[in-house]
Structure 1
């Protein structure tokens, strides 16, 4: 087997000297400073704010620009940063401001020079080969020449000037400026981690997915809101009606209809036939949302219809899977339909605005023939959406339940724990899964479900829904999801969702260290979580357990920002250590371009290192070391293969 491997490896290198060159290249890379990792979480469809954070690298771009020009006071740092973030929009603005052609050409010349300087500075910790790969193909040669001719005091000054002047004269300056700006963004941030919840609440998750697909290096840890979209693509009907209900809840049915081309007309007509508008189901929207009264009424009725369909389907699943131990969530079977009351946990509650025209009290979880047909149509339309399938495939391929990366554990929600700190288990087929083994089991079942999208009720597909709402789900992490209570019961005490012990115990350094070690990581690493918004205005800190635990859900979703007081946390890890960035709400691209506004408010040091961390000390470094060893063996035995 090894012989065949080396034979295949030799096919990549025509000559023995080529192997030596690659070994030297890898050894050089290992000694370079590690690239910057950027961590974001819980972006919830808020594309513009997310896009801005990517463009500015949570303050990393500005940091590079300031370092590059620290001895040149005449450079307007804010103005140059804005050009790097939004080159197209900034150029349009400057054209209208400057007017005169000669003056505009001079502006182009100055900005190209400054951008080339920043590009060179941002790429100092990379090999020339990696720098070249970062250049857009159409400008790779020109950018290489501009970087080589940066020293305008040398004999190349005229050569350098002629290149820029020719670019400007041929009206290619705007395209080159955009190429330089995008290259700087790519060089400043080497890798992006998305720690869950791309979907739901905000209006543009599809735009976020397109942005992620276009990035050069990204991984995703699935969130609970991501998993129901994946589950629906894998064939889960309870997941499908859950996600449609959530879109209706936030006035975002257009995501499904217009963005993904899913045919909702049969569902809308069904909802209008059986449900009247009720105040409890008014969609939750921002003041700036432009949703007509008619659309709000549709969202109201669709939300009610999906809620009842959801409780029916969930009831069937709970009966089908007694091992999930969720009989307490058979809510439709706990209702007195004559008295319009429900008995939960030994208490009887009156139901408010409860409409159930399609429920048979003698068999409340049974679907009508009309509902069975409707659900089949919805699932087919969902799974047949080419754009959605492409997005879900990417989410699946780049995603996982957790990631161990550079001594950090990235996971969206929790590692389920008992109150005493022991790992909480899920028992399936006489086998108990807990801790890392539980999350590995979940990963395996997600893969099985996604491989068979036409199977709608096998164990793997049902477990995908359990990951959304189950007590031992690492993505949910609560005893029960009280959707029914929040819709139909006035007493808010019934709405409380009791969190897993993890969320209090993660404040203890010893617990965090034990979790890290159980995943094969050193005690000095960090657990990086999303999922639970950090209520900063109430004094909560995102850094817990002596900084072993970092929670970076600060509320990108506008629905959370009144509670959190900020608009999201992000995290940066570079060769010097780790920084936590707190963001203020994003206003608009227009404001950012015209006024140079930014949304990073505070950078907090999480960790500083005594000496810069090298690539050799990273996960990528381990792979490169192995590659180097394999190449060395090939070099020493080149003639054998």
Structure 2
């Protein structure tokens, strides 16, 4: 105890006497025996804000299951659907019901009793202290009273009923319904894991991040598209050009202009002057909904090409300056014969489908023109000074990581780089090799150094670009990125992106166990949770791999992938009874949910049932056990007089 006495003195400032220490030990030991909180895992959101928001509000269908359980023989289906709508979107549902003149005093009374019953069930696995912290300021005392009163308690029956009556009589029924509905939404999910790729494809990643900023308990495992935008927000020129190019490719000017408030006029003016003869349609935006006018499409197409050329030039600069990345095979501009308009790939010449390059110097193709330099410098300043983007970057750094070990699950977005024999593939940096867990730790460290690049001796931001598209990147996991070839060569054999062997070998239980051992996890009981590669369920592919050791939960949240997957995403749910996977159908609209009761749940499959787990079986439980040990030491110190109590 002597070695810890200074720490115990510090602890004593929080627990000043024997009574307070004893009370906290009793409290923590009781908490250890509560049921484990429910975790939800989602991945590859790709800007689909409305679908993601609904998944949060409905707890991916778990609230629907709870309502069915609670009112199994009491309510008709129509009444259950009405209650669902009230919990998911209370303001909108109340507005609809108000127009129908349904909101009578009796209706309020019935709905309030039902909402309180649901809230009692979803809060029952938490301590009173934890529930109290979740309670909103308005109605805090009233909700706490209602949650812990029992209707069958005859001594308090009139008291209970009078609370409900008074809420309605003083005109607070609507506000109370909204408050308790939001509380139910919060309590139903204890922990939210986002396993990568919030950005790109869809138009609203910024809204998703705003939603996550308000979430009570979430973490993020960075995906390759997140790293792209994080590197861009740090000022990496190639990644800034790439982020803009992808937004233009999918016609997402709204993300750039409205989401983050970037002024795209300098780029628009540039292409109107420099790319005025552009007629090729290969840079036309990919639109999920045909909402752009023809003139807008033409302008976006020119902007798309101009920023793509700037991107390719900047990438060549990185490859030439960073020899250690060993990416010389991807110096595509340097391989072009501008007399014949051919490009040499692996010893074979291919014709280019586009011959219009008004800004490329044939002798030094990677060199930016003065105007291109102005454009990219303008966007660097814009990205670095954008308050909202920088706020999102800080959140992603603080809440995110390359991987996470949590409650016996290993979460990462892409892959653990392997060679053909299934051995961990190494990446060399300054004469030191990294592989497996050490490789992911290395890149996690690089991301944080890049964030603090102004305070570092060396600028590591080029490694953010490598994380986005390098062959040893755990977030990319392919031999090369074929974006340039996809645009300019009409030959399928050149655009095949060969995946890292991990993506085949992860089907084997043996491979997954080997990875789990490297990450210091129990290979018999632990699981791997992956995103990144959409599961083609419509072709019979299963998200469950390696006899249940690994789950791939990218089911196509992004509309761009739904025609391939056949569904609209997965949610992995881990509650006290085990693991289940929920597949989603496309989210159409809030109106459809409220008027027709149409929910997103397509299927609900239990994939591993366990004996009911308690808090003591979780990572938080281990932290609480350590805290209890410290408090017992403090209690001993008080009893032995080593530390004086404050009475």
TM-score (norm 1): 0.96
Q: Distance in 2 between matches of 1:74 and 1:13?
A: 52
1:87 maps to 2:90: yes
Shift, 1:393, TM fit: 0.8
- Measured against aligned partners, the alpha-carbon deviations of 1:359-390 in whole angstroms (never above 9, x if no partner) come to 11111111122222221210111111111111
Q: Secondary structure at the match of 1:281?
A: coil
8 Å CA contact 1:220, 1:395 repeated in 2: yes
8 Å CA contact 2:453, 2:460 repeated in 1: no
User: Which residue number corresponds to residue 478 of structure 1?
Assistant: 478
Shift, 1:277, TM fit: 4.7
- Measured against aligned partners, the alpha-carbon deviations of 1:522-569 in whole angstroms (never above 9, x if no partner) come to 112111100000011111111111011100001111011111111011
Shift, 1:495, TM fit: 1.4
The 5-angstrom pairing of residues 375-454 of structure 1 reads: 375-452=376-453
Shift, 1:278, TM fit: 2.7
User: Which residue number corresponds to residue 309 of structure 1?
Assistant: 310
User: Which residue number corresponds to residue 28 of structure 1?
Assistant: 30
Q: Distance in 2 between matches of 1:195 and 1:478?
A: 19
User: Which residue number corresponds to residue 77 of structure 1?
Assistant: 80
Q: Distance in 1 between matches of 2:551 and 2:6?
A: 45
User: Which residue number corresponds to residue 105 of structure 1?
Assistant: 105
8 Å CA contact 2:112, 2:177 repeated in 1: yes
User: Which residue number corresponds to residue 320 of structure 1?
Assistant: 321
Identify the range of structure 1 (461-470 vs 179-188) with the bigger mean alpha-carbon deviation: 179-188
Shift, 1:459, TM fit: 5.0
8 Å CA contact 1:233, 1:453 repeated in 2: no
8 Å CA contact 1:95, 1:104 repeated in 2: no
Unaligned stretches of 5+ in structure 1? none
The 5-angstrom pairing of residues 588-627 of structure 1 reads: 588-609=589-610, 611-627=611-627
8 Å CA contact 2:416, 2:436 repeated in 1: yes
User: Which residue number corresponds to residue 18 of structure 2?
Assistant: 16
The 5-angstrom pairing of residues 162-241 of structure 1 reads: 162-241=162-241
8 Å CA contact 2:453, 2:459 repeated in 1: no
Identify the range of structure 1 (295-304 vs 560-569) with the bigger mean alpha-carbon deviation: 295-304
Q: CA RMSD in A?
A: 1.6
Q: Secondary structure at the match of 1:279?
A: coil
Q: Distance in 2 between matches of 1:291 and 1:108?
A: 46
Structure 1 residues 528, 354: CA separation in 2 closer, same or farther (over 3 Å shift)?
A: farther
8 Å CA contact 2:419, 2:425 repeated in 1: yes
Structure 1 residues 454, 482: CA separation in 2 closer, same or farther (over 3 Å shift)?
A: farther
Q: Secondary structure at the match of 1:498?
A: coil
Shift, 1:133, TM fit: 1.3
- Measured against aligned partners, the alpha-carbon deviations of 1:3-58 in whole angstroms (never above 9, x if no partner) come to 33322222222432111111111111111110000000000000111111111112
Q: Secondary structure at the match of 1:409?
A: strand
- Measured against aligned partners, the alpha-carbon deviations of 1:257-279 in whole angstroms (never above 9, x if no partner) come to 11111222212211222222531
8 Å CA contact 1:332, 1:364 repeated in 2: yes
Unaligned stretches of 5+ in structure 2? none
Q: Secondary structure at the match of 1:193?
A: strand
Q: Distance in 2 between matches of 1:271 and 1:207?
A: 30
1:361 maps to 2:386: no
Q: Secondary structure at the match of 1:137?
A: coil
Identify the range of structure 1 (8-17 vs 402-411) with the bigger mean alpha-carbon deviation: 8-17
Q: Secondary structure at the match of 1:573?
A: strand
Q: Distance in 2 between matches of 1:2 and 1:383?
A: 45
Q: Distance in 2 between matches of 1:321 and 1:458?
A: 13
Q: Distance in 1 between matches of 2:258 and 2:75?
A: 49
Shift, 1:448, TM fit: 0.5
Shift, 1:303, TM fit: 1.1
Q: Secondary structure at the match of 2:418?
A: coil
Q: Secondary structure at the match of 2:285?
A: coil
Q: Distance in 1 between matches of 2:455 and 2:371?
A: 20
8 Å CA contact 1:264, 1:378 repeated in 2: no
User: Which residue number corresponds to residue 492 of structure 1?
Assistant: 492
8 Å CA contact 2:407, 2:618 repeated in 1: yes
8 Å CA contact 2:579, 2:609 repeated in 1: yes
> How many residues are paired up?
635
- Measured against aligned partners, the alpha-carbon deviations of 1:205-256 in whole angstroms (never above 9, x if no partner) come to 1110011111110000000000011111222111110000000011112211
Q: Distance in 2 between matches of 1:349 and 1:453?
A: 43
Q: Distance in 1 between matches of 2:7 and 2:279?
A: 66
8 Å CA contact 2:571, 2:581 repeated in 1: yes
Structure 1 residues 46, 453: CA separation in 2 closer, same or farther (over 3 Å shift)?
A: farther
8 Å CA contact 2:57, 2:185 repeated in 1: yes
Q: Distance in 1 between matches of 2:455 and 2:167?
A: 54
Q: Distance in 2 between matches of 1:252 and 1:279?
A: 18
Shift, 1:70, TM fit: 3.0
Q: Secondary structure at the match of 2:564?
A: helix
TM-score (norm 2): 0.95
User: Which residue number corresponds to residue 628 of structure 1?
Assistant: 628
8 Å CA contact 1:117, 1:150 repeated in 2: no
Identify the range of structure 1 (259-268 vs 197-206) with the bigger mean alpha-carbon deviation: 259-268
8 Å CA contact 1:84, 1:181 repeated in 2: yes
1:129 maps to 2:129: yes
- Measured against aligned partners, the alpha-carbon deviations of 1:281-315 in whole angstroms (never above 9, x if no partner) come to 1111112x533333322321111011111110000
User: Which residue number corresponds to residue 45 of structure 1?
Assistant: 47
